[in-house]
Amino acid sequence: MPEFVCQTCRNTISYGLGDSISIKEQLKQSKLSMPLVMTNTMCYDQWIYNQTGGECTSCFSRIAKDRYPVNVRDGYKVYCTVFSDMGMSVGDLCMNQVIRDEYVRRNPDEMVVFLEGMTGLDEIREYNPVKVFWANLFTGGPEWVIRDAYWFAVTNEATEFARQGHYARLPMQWRFDDNTKPLSDLMQRFDMDRYVVFHLRNQLGDPKKSAAKNIKPHFVYSIFKLLQNRFKSGMFDAVVLVGNDSVANGYDVPTIEGIIDDSLPIVDLRNRWEGDESLKNIAAICSNAVMTIGRDSGIIQLAAAAGCPKVVAWDFNTRGWFPKAPDGVLSAWVEDESRLEVVLEAVKGVLG
């Protein structure tokens, strides 16, 4: 089977010859960087490699590498560009904020519209856009969008922007100032300068559906034991629990009682606030922590975007969803690499 080495990730990509005529016809009919209807995706790997001078589909970047026509203001005429929804979860919004900010910065002569949710053809046409960018979160859409949009992968773009030094950013509604009141009250109430944030991800809903995304009990037990040991050595002042998940119920994760003795101060701020206020306060708390620990979740993305100096996280589906942060901040692993011993070693590396 033919193969090539991606010049960005250095991975070896194998591909089938497939039906090259069908692929060629689809490309003639589409401005998409990746047709939404493919008869052979491996053939497309080869096409992307040839077109970009050495990238695979997992590394291909359109927006961060300026692979689109630029529109300059023509007198009083302002050109409009429309972006499809790029995801509305906490992690999605932290990941795609850098795409929004950087595109607007690089294209000052355009009016840029960022849509939310699945959008119909009529709504898009109202803006009379000269360009439509279509995020890979959706596999379908209005016929006009499929034919004329520029496809892009959110994680690819965020990863390439990070390589250029532009990291994930907090959306405006979650940004905070240095005098965030909940953080100030927290510091005064518990007399702590150094604390560790621990997110015990425990989703609401059917346990059979949510259990796969919840933190495993033996991770909770072992990490708490390590934190207790390091607290006694004077490495930090307290552990802060954050998140809007359900309180640990014994099915998905154990309760914290019985895991540790009374010597370790624990500040439980789970479900303390609601909505944007909650996420803004959690971002402020994580930004001032010694480190944030937790399984793949929106809170972990939030901590990195808020500027937490150290983030330890595991069980990501792909590396593309690793939080985007400067070198030295993140220790993260995909699911098949997420062994308890490597997580504990990373925590020890931060706390000494």
Question: Is the pLDDT confidence value at 250 over 50?
Answer: no
Residue 111, pLDDT score: 93
Query: Which pLDDT band, with edges at 50, 70 and 90, does 217 fall under?
Result: confident
In the predicted model, what is the mean pLDDT of the chain? 80
Structure tokens at 230: 């390091």
Question: Is the pLDDT confidence value at 62 over 60?
Answer: yes
Query: Which pLDDT band, with edges at 50, 70 and 90, does 184 fall under?
Result: low
Q: pTM of whole model > 0.75? A: yes
pLDDT digits (tens, 9 = 90+) for 65-120: 998 988 877 767 778 999 988 988 899 999 999 999 999 999 999 999 998 876 66
C-alpha distance from residue 28 to each of 12, 33, 73, 133, 334 (Å): 28, 11, 29, 18, 37
Which phi-psi region, left, alpha or beta, contains residue 243 (left: φ > 0; alpha: ψ -120 to 50)? Answer: left
Q: Is the dihedral of CA 133, 316, 101, 123 positive or negative?
A: positive
Structure tokens at 232: 């006694």
Domain definitions of the chain by residue range? 1-60, 68-167, 172-351
Question: Is the pLDDT confidence value at 56 over 90?
Answer: no
Size of the chain, expressed as the number of residues it contains = 352
Residue 35, pLDDT score: 38
Segments in 107-164 forming alpha helices (H): 121-125, 143-148, 154-163
β-pairing, 291-295 vs 266-268, is unpaired
pLDDT digits (tens, 9 = 90+) for 105-162: 999 999 999 988 766 677 788 888 888 898 876 544 444 444 567 888 899 999 999 9
293-317: average pLDDT: 95
Question: Edge-to-edge strands of the sheet including 330-334?
Answer: 266-268, 238-242, 195-199, 291-295, 311-316, 330-334
CA distance 251 to 207: 8
In the CATH scheme, what is the homologous superfamily, with its name and number, of domain 172-351? Glycogen Phosphorylase B; (3.40.50.2000)
Query: What is the helix, strand, coil percentage profile of the chain, to 5?
Result: 40, 15, 45
Helix (H) or strand (E) holding 302: helix 298-306
Of residues 202 and 276, which shows the higher confidence score? 276
Q: Within 13 Å and on the Cβ side, how many CA atoms surround 155? A: 15
Which phi-psi region, left, alpha or beta, contains residue 334 (left: φ > 0; alpha: ψ -120 to 50)? Answer: beta
Q: Which of 12, 22, 11 is nearest to 2 (CA)?
A: 12
Query: Which pLDDT band, with edges at 50, 70 and 90, does 30 fall under?
Result: very low
β-pairing, 311-316 vs 330-334, is parallel
Residue 102, pLDDT score: 97
Query: Which pLDDT band, with edges at 50, 70 and 90, does 252 fall under?
Result: very low
292-299: average pLDDT: 94
Q: Helices 20-28 & 41-52, crossing angle to 10 degrees?
A: 60
Phi–psi pair at 233, nearest 5 degrees? -90, 0
What is the maximal distance between C-alpha atoms in the chain? 71
274-300: average pLDDT: 91
Of residues 244 and 140, which shows the higher confidence score? 244
Question: Is the pLDDT confidence value at 28 over 50?
Answer: no
Looking at the chain, the whole-number percentage of residues with pLDDT higher than 70 is 72
